[in-house]
Amino acid sequence: MLIKLTGGKVYDPAHGIDGKIMDIYILDGRIAEKPRDDARIDKEYNLTGQIVMAGAIDMHTHIGGGKVNIARTLLPEDHRMDPVAHTALMRAGCGHVVPSTLTTGYRYAEMGYTAGFEPAVLPMNARQGHLEMGDIPIIDKGGYVMLGNDDLFLRMLAAKKDQNAINDYVAWTMDAAQAIGVKVVNAGGINAFKFNQRMLDLDENNVNYNVTPREVLKTLSRAMYELGVAHPLHVHGQNLGVPGNIITTLNTMAGVEGYPLHLTHIQFHSYGTEGDRKFSSGAAQIAEAINKYPNVSVDVGQIMFGQTVTASGDSMSQHRNSGLATPNKWVCMDIECDNGCGVVPFKYRDQNFVNALQWAIGLEIFLLVEDPWRIFLTTDHPNGAPFTSYPHLIKLLMDKTYRKEVFASINLDAQALSTLASIDREYSLYEIAIMTRAGAAKLVGLHDRGHLGVGGAADITVYSEHADQEIMFAKPAYVFKDGELVVKDGNIVKVTWGGTHVVKPDFDRSIEKEISKYFDSFHTMKMEHSKVSKGEIEGDGRGKLLVHEAKGRREKTA
């Protein structure tokens, strides 16, 4: 099947294409060369006056796994307000802050997204994460597996095990959990909370192992580099939400000796202690540091006003913040001497000083970071807001007049502490395409996504140009997933099933002897049974593993 997309205005930053009128050809799900003049075009779309980008990629969104299902269980009242009925094409479900799996896939696709990455896959809950993602239609999925709070890793670190042994364990875990990256959440802190530590700063010892978060981050970021994993260590920092945590965040950026580091939902980690209320914006300093350290990338974790739910592996921080739960109910868990989780509903209010300033801090960071290849558009769905608020967020970034209007309506004390009104930057379509496509694909390590070059997967989104960017980005004219038209005028026209992106770095398989023995001694299941098999992802006939290159194991770097 040869498809021609004719005359659209193309934004393809991976190839430096900034709004050029071009034709794009799709052959059997891939972007193809211009065929010979006599080739038969099976289907042509006239895209004159329309904007063409690769399908968008959400590089950090909580869409599958235990804590997501807990959040669903916790909030039936939220689902009741957004029922989704059965149609001839789509199965029923429900939406808003934690949509059902099916609705998640439909709504992402309807917004022009073609991939989403679950950032908190617990090794002990990886099977559930993939099961849930297996029930998300259309988009591709993938996950970052959580390390750095598990007993075995901390034990190895405490015993000062050789970096190569740690690399083997990290790669084994990625393989077992079918991951494309590794995330560390409150490094060592989730574990410390189990021993009744309530805070753990970068250089503070986890009392049980006498290791610090700094050591955890250094070791794991180095492991990612040495294993040749494209995605840098994905870091949810220490002291989430604590006024003054900017110091910790700046030290974290400086503390990994130049290894690539991705700091996630940076907004929640950019708080100062100035002003009468001892809560202030650290956005300028954070942005300055990001601009300075080329090894650092961030996603923002923008908050939006309204009801949402926070779902995180950071049981220490979530328990600390549980008093703020709105409505007043929350779940925390200690999990398998491996990880934890905390689910706390939140309602961000524009007239609340702290919430209003959080909103402004996120936008300040977006606008003050210079390199769009190192900053990504997220709300940390659903923690800052549900992903369905992305079109609104894009408008805030692209339209300074609108942004200033909204800013003028928020809590006055927060306005007084923010520089947002003085920032005139407006994101261009090219920059939006970097943040949500080309940059995201590069960051996650998806060689054939996020761009429109020949050979790439034909994940393509076409927007009708509109002066109001929120309207434009909410309902694309067309979305193609692997070359198939799945959305027309913002509505699903075909339901397909995407794949699961993974990376498989090499490791010494003999490490399994040790891990297996460890499981038999201390765990409550066999090591073999903790592994998510290829068959579990592909067995239903609709999922598939998409394996990306790990660029060969590097020699020890020191």
Partner 1 sequence: MENLSQASTVETVTCPFCGLLCDDLSVDRDSSGNLNVIENGCAKSITFFGRPVVTPSPRIAGKPVELKAAIAKAAEILGAAKQPLFSGLGTEVYGMRAVMNLAESTNATLDHMNSNGFMRNIQVVQNSGWLITTLTEVKNRMDLLVIVGTDIVSIFPRFFEREVWNKETMYGQDTSKREIVYLGGRDLDTSAGISPDGRKPEVLPCDMDKLPDVVSALRAIVLGKKLHATEVAGIAVADLEKLAQRMKAAKYSVTTWAAGTLAFPQAELTVQNVTELVKVLNKDTRAAGLPLGGIEGDMNANQVCTWISGYPMRTSYARSFPEHDSYHFSTDRQLSSNEADALFWVSSFNPDRTPPATNIPTVVFAHAQMKLEKEPEVFIPVGLPGADHRGIAFRSDNVVSLPLQQLRNSTLPTLAEVFSAIELTITNSALVASEDK
153 binding partner 1? (CB under 8 A): no
- Whether the CB-CB separation of 264 and 119 falls below 8 Å is answered with yes
Q: Residues with Cβ < 8 Å from 431, sequence gap 6 or more?
A: 372
**Nearest residue to 537 (alpha-carbon basis) of 131, 51, 179:** 131
* Residue 104 or 167 with smaller CB distance to partner 1: 104
Cα–Cα distance for residue pair 275/295, rounded to 1 Å: 32
Closest CA to 127 of 505, 546, 537, 519: 537
135 binds partner 1 (CB under 8 A): yes
3-state secondary structure of 306: strand
Q: With contact defined as beta carbons under 8 Å apart, do 237 and 245 qualify? A: yes
CA-to-CA distance for 127 and 139, rounded, in angstroms?
19
- The single residue among 56, 94, 240, 446 that binds partner 1, judged by CB under 8 A, is 94
The pair of structure tokens assigned to 493 is: 């026209």
Token representation of residue 328: 């007043």
Nearest one of 111, 107, 112, 105 to 133, comparing CA atoms: 105
Q: Which is nearer to partner 1, 102 or 250 (CB)?
A: 102
Nearer to partner 1, 36 or 529 (CB): 529
86 binds partner 1 (CB under 8 A): yes
Identify which range of 66-74, 362-370, 436-444, 504-512 contacts partner 1 by CB under 8 A: 66-74
CB-nearer residue toward partner 1: 252 or 339: 339
Instruction: Give the Cα separation of 139 and 118 in Å (integer).
Output: 12
Taking CB under 8 A as the rule, does residue 513 contact partner 1? Answer: no
CB atoms within 10 A of CB 505: 22
Reduced to 3 states (helix: H, G, I; strand: E, B; else coil), residue 130 is helix
CA–chain centroid gap for 270, Å, is 18
Contact (Cβ atoms closer than 8 angstroms) between residue 65 and residue 118: yes
Residue 73 interacts with partner 1 (CB under 8 A): yes or no = yes
Q: Is 64 in the site for partner 1 (CB under 8 A)?
A: yes
Task: Please select the residue that binds partner 1; options are 39, 49, 276, 328, rule is CB under 8 A.
Answer: 328
**Binding of residue 203 to partner 1 (CB under 8 A):** no
Question: Which of 205, 231, 275, 244 lies closest to 418, judged by CA?
Answer: 275
Residue 334 phi, psi dihedral angles, 5° rounding: -95, 130
Q: Could you tell me how many residues of this chain bind partner 1 (CB under 8 A)? A: 65
Q: What is the DSSP letter of 451?
A: S
CA distances from 406 to 105, 307, 398, 411, 471 (A): 30, 18, 13, 11, 17
Query: Could you tell me which of 65, 62, 63, 56 has the C-alpha nearest to residue 110?
Result: 56
Which run of H or of E encompasses 407? helix 400-407
Q: Which is nearer to partner 1, 94 or 486 (CB)?
A: 94
Cβ at position 532, least distance to partner 1 in Å: 9
Judged by CB under 8 A, the stretch of 78-86, 382-390, 406-414, 447-455 that binds partner 1 is 78-86
537 binds partner 1 (CB under 8 A): no
Under the binding rule (CB under 8 A), the answer on residue 517 touching partner 1 is no
Examine residue 540 and tell whether it contacts partner 1 (CB under 8 A): yes
> Closest approach of Cβ 408 to partner 1, in Å?
37
- 397: nearest Cα among 419, 422, 429: 429
The residue type at 468: D
Q: Does 335 bind partner 1 (CB under 8 A)?
A: yes
Residue 83 within binding range of partner 1, rule CB under 8 A: yes
Q: How far apart are CB 85 and partner 1 at their closest, in Å?
A: 4
Which one among 38, 40, 48, 196 touches partner 1, defined by CB under 8 A? 196
Nearer to partner 1, 156 or 202 (CB): 156
498 contributes a contact to partner 1 by CB under 8 A: no
Of 422 and 521, CB closest to partner 1: 521
Q: What is the phi/psi pair of residue 122, to 5°?
A: -75, 135
Measured from the CB atom, is 196 or 510 closer to partner 1?
196
For partner 1, the binding residue among 36, 37, 48, 85 (CB under 8 A) is 85
The nearest distance, CB 134 to partner 1, in angstroms, is 9
The least CB distance from residue 325 to partner 1, in Å, is 8
When asked if residue 386 is in the footprint of partner 1 (CB under 8 A), the reply is: no
Could you say which residues in the range 289-308 bind partner 1, by CB under 8 A?
A: none
Among the listed ranges 11-19, 255-263, 442-450, 521-529, the one in contact with partner 1 (CB under 8 A) is: 521-529
Please compute Rg for the chain using Cα positions: 23
Q: What are phi and psi of 238, to 5 degrees?
A: -75, 160
**Which of residues 196 and 401 has its CB atom nearest to partner 1 in the complex?**
196
Q: Determine, following the binding rule CB under 8 A, whether residue 270 of this chain makes contact with partner 1.
A: no
Nearer to partner 1, 84 or 233 (CB): 84
User: 274, 221, 269: which is closest to 419 by C-alpha?
Assistant: 274
Contact with partner 1 (CB under 8 A): which of 80, 466, 509, 513?
80
Q: Does 210 bind partner 1 (CB under 8 A)?
A: no
Contacts of 46 (CB under 8 A, 6+ apart): 6, 7
- Report the residue number, 210 or 351, with the smaller CB distance to partner 1: 210
The residues in 340-359 that bind partner 1, with binding defined as CB under 8 A, are 343
> Taking CB under 8 A as the rule, does residue 128 contact partner 1?
yes
Phi-psi region of 148 (alpha: psi -120 to 50; beta: other; left: phi over 0): left
Residues lying near partner 1 in the complex (CB under 8 A) are found at 64, 66, 68-70, 72-74, 76, 79-80, 83-86, 91-94, 98-103, 122, 124-125, 127-128, 131-132, 135, 151, 155, 193-196, 208, 319, 325, 328-338, 343, 521-526, 528-529, 533, 536, 540
